[in-house]
Structure 1
Amino acid sequence: MSDTLVETSAAEVLTAGSPRLEALLDTIAEGAAERDRERIHPYDIFDLIRQTRLGALRIRREDGGGGASYRDLYDTVIRLGAADSNVAHSLRNHYVFAERYARNPRDAREREWQRAVVAGKIVGLANGELDSKKVGGRVYATTLTRDGDGYRLSGTKYYSTGTLYSDLVLIRAVGPDGSSASVIIPVDREGVELVDDWDGAGQRLTGTGTTILKDVRVEEDEVVYDAPGVGYGVVYASTLPQLFLTAVNAGILQALAQDAAALVRERSRTFHHAAAETPAQDPLLQQTVGQIASAAFAAETLVLAAADELDRLDAANAAGKDTEELALQASLRAAKAKVVIDELAIRAGGQIFDVGGASATKRSRNLDRHWRNARTLASHNPASYKAAAIGNYHINGEPLPKLGFF
């Protein structure tokens, strides 16, 4: 572990591009392949994330945060994805929560959530339900029922990404009057059970699993009902989490470029019909590494271009302007980035074996994790739906979906 990280971890929040962030990223990258191969949960990494308060990156500096722009945030996400895509993905729901309920607090409870984020607390999410007929919809079997001056919460949630490593969890539920709501409670509250049962091909260590809620006591100020312009009622609010997933795939592309170059440099044996005496001088292998590196550059550029549009939207919101058209354009950029980057990442995940030969497939190297992880990330809201919506917009002027998980 870096001395820079250890000496100052409790002193101040991380800022984008700082030496302490570099030290944290280096620490996260150490052992990432082994953790993925042996299914070693990164609890120690998340303790460091709490200590360094990485989760407060987007909170304003005057409020104790890192003061990052969206460009800073997504640049950091890309680099986190390169270090360990599991860790990066696990923080997605935390950053979305911070954006919706902590960065611009509207009342005392949101100021308390802001203080929790600045103190290093991590927030997970329990949203999806397997009985739901439509993924990303707002029809929930998880219910809030009145209990004196509070509620009782019961239900079962799947795909609770990040929650296994979190201090708090946001649970989507339906209230007594049928309205959709967000419930924010500690993960160790009586009646909350976190089950580590995610068995996906990739992203195995994202703290994803089933959250079981059995008659959990919930206080009045722990519930936020959906309303226009608030939380899940913000139009195009899903742009943030969607671009986050794409940024993690862009990070995987960076890791692939690094690993492919290192693989060729390390090889001493070559094929008998190769064009050069050493792999490092083989133009065919150089070409493949160049293709992967170029894909990584293109992915980074696209993500940051989409992030720039979010920064323009953020500035317009702060100025009190009508921002729906800007929000649409930000959603469009994020959707277009996904369509391109997912394909690049999946392709590069196979290309790396073209430069390594059969020995590159050894389980000890665990290079296949890049393809598995990219393929799993890309499966979240498939790119075909994005491409169709983009085409409908450009042909017919039909806006992208404003609400739901698009």
Structure 2
Amino acid sequence: MSVETIEKTPLADSADGFAALFDRIAEGASERERTRSLPFAALDLLRQARFGALRIATADGGGGLSFHALFGLVLQLAAADANVAHILRNHFTATEQYIRTPRSAQARRWRDAVADGAIIGLANTELGTPVVGGAAPDTRLTPDGHGYRLNGTKYYSTGTLYADYTLVRAVGPGDALAAVIIPTGRDGVEIVDDWDGIGQRLTASGTTHFHSVRVEPDEAVFDREGTGYGLAYANTQAQLFLTTVNAGIIRGILNDATALLRDRRRGFYHAPAARPADDPILQQAIGQIAANAFAAETVVLAAADALDAVARRRDEGIDDPALAHAAALAAAKAKIVVDDLALRSGGLIFDVAGASATLRTANLDRHWRNARTLASHNPASYKAMAVGAHAIHGTPLPAKGFF
């Protein structure tokens, strides 16, 4: 895949406009994952197509897509390469919270950069905090003349290695929480590709160090109610994005399983059909995966519709907590269902292909490994507990963390 041969293309305004691009990204996706070849070229193709601008308004140079349309495309991208899709998760979250509807001249510059193809990563998590999600970070912003200096270490910095900017959560003067958006190439930013997970191996979800990094005054956005992380259920979009990637993995499994069965020449002597593609038992496995893919996509898009209802109100300047809670509830339910379907589908593909499918060169285990890794981000057991408490007692979902 040669980036140099691709001219910058107009922003596609439909799913069909990205089909050829996704096909190119799918080329060699399994081999990239098997050999741990980082997908810089694929990200450059998405930059040139300005995929990250799909939620920016058309008047501002973006695609103006709804969440329903965006997540439909993300699902297709995940079917092509789950790593590449996951890399963009934090980009769309940062864009939605701080950039799409700018409140400052700096935010407008960020919006223009995104409309031109820029990608944003995230540096949020710290291993020293006693709980996952919602804890104040140890990364500090200290005054330095008219701006600040940023010092700290972050983990699970998904996408930052490939990004033009990264969003860093930090504590500023008076222990005020802030989101800092800075170029990844700035002096003092050290990105380490040390992610060693069993799946999503190419997302560069590793360590980022900030060594006395200069931060200009307008690059730090301090938390306040109704904006950024102060929005009601601010992380719902990020959670649903991961679930969408898992739904895309099921579609990828279906594509691989179907191709495998069509090409398979050897069957068992006691099979009910001489040709594997005509074997009703193997056809049943394909049918089950196809049903799983359909159900996962339907559930994800229904949850995206709930998120669109929230976005419409926010575009009117209203952060509606009831609508936001409904969207968070829909996303939680979607995760519970889709994660299970993805993991089961990751096993079913081996029923289609037999023992030869377990060869390392085939790399079919990547689907299960990737789905398991994504599902482990925010365990479905906690989601189910919260959904159950709401169903029985009307208990609201947790407002912080991964809801």
TM-score by length of 2: 0.97
Partner in structure 1 of residue 398 of structure 2: 401
Partner in structure 1 of residue 168 of structure 2: 171
Determine which of 362, 365, 369 is the counterpart of 1:368: 365
* Structure 2 unmatched ranges of 5 or more: none
Decide whether the 8 Å contact of 2:76 with 2:248 is kept in 1: yes
How far residue 11 of structure 1 moved from its aligned partner, in angstroms, is 4.2
Determine which of 190, 198, 221 is the counterpart of 1:201: 198
Three-state SS of the structure 2 residue aligned to 1:214 is strand
Distance 1:45 1:327, change over 3 A: same
How far residue 333 of structure 1 moved from its aligned partner, in angstroms, is 0.6
Partner in structure 1 of residue 233 of structure 2: 236
Amino acid at match of 1:161: T
CA distance in 2, matches of 1:191, 1:318: 36
Three-state SS of the structure 1 residue aligned to 2:343 is helix
Decide whether the 8 Å contact of 2:56 with 2:62 is kept in 1: yes
CA distance in 2, matches of 1:13, 1:138: 38
Three-state SS of the structure 2 residue aligned to 1:177 is helix
How far residue 189 of structure 1 moved from its aligned partner, in angstroms, is 0.7
Partner in structure 1 of residue 375 of structure 2: 378
Amino acid at match of 2:12: L
Amino acid at match of 1:32: A
Partner in structure 1 of residue 101 of structure 2: 104
Amino acid at match of 1:223: A
Determine which of 255, 262, 273 is the counterpart of 1:265: 262
Partner in structure 1 of residue 314 of structure 2: 317
Distance 1:321 1:188, change over 3 A: closer
- Of 104-113 and 194-203, deviating more is 104-113
1:145 aligns with 2:112: no
How far residue 319 of structure 1 moved from its aligned partner, in angstroms, is 4.0
CA distance in 1, matches of 2:87, 2:186: 21
How far residue 138 of structure 1 moved from its aligned partner, in angstroms, is 2.7
- Of 338-347 and 100-109, deviating more is 100-109
1:92 aligns with 2:89: yes
1:12 aligns with 2:10: yes
Amino acid at match of 1:272: Y
CA distance in 2, matches of 1:284, 1:173: 55
Partner in structure 2 of residue 117 of structure 1: 114
1:33 aligns with 2:41: no
Spell out, residue by residue over 1:42-86, the C-alpha distance to the aligned partner (whole angstroms, 9 max, x if none): 111111111111100111111100111110110011101100000
CA RMSD for the aligned pairs?
Answer: 1.5
Amino acid at match of 1:162: G
Decide whether the 8 Å contact of 1:173 with 1:182 is kept in 2: yes
Partner in structure 2 of residue 328 of structure 1: 325
Decide whether the 8 Å contact of 1:233 with 1:403 is kept in 2: no
Partner in structure 2 of residue 278 of structure 1: 275
Three-state SS of the structure 1 residue aligned to 2:175 is coil
CA distance in 1, matches of 2:143, 2:318: 39
Determine which of 68, 71, 75 is the counterpart of 2:72: 75
How far residue 6 of structure 1 moved from its aligned partner, in angstroms, is 6.0
Spell out, residue by residue over 1:187-221, the C-alpha distance to the aligned partner (whole angstroms, 9 max, x if none): 11111100000000000001211001111111111
Decide whether the 8 Å contact of 2:194 with 2:204 is kept in 1: no
Amino acid at match of 1:122: I
Three-state SS of the structure 1 residue aligned to 2:166 is strand
Decide whether the 8 Å contact of 1:127 with 1:158 is kept in 2: yes
Identity over aligned pairs, percent: 59
Determine which of 299, 302, 306 is the counterpart of 1:302: 299
How far residue 316 of structure 1 moved from its aligned partner, in angstroms, is 2.8
1:214 aligns with 2:215: no
TM-score by length of 1: 0.97
How far residue 325 of structure 1 moved from its aligned partner, in angstroms, is 1.1
Partner in structure 2 of residue 154 of structure 1: 151
The number of aligned residues is 403
* Structure 1 unmatched ranges of 5 or more: none
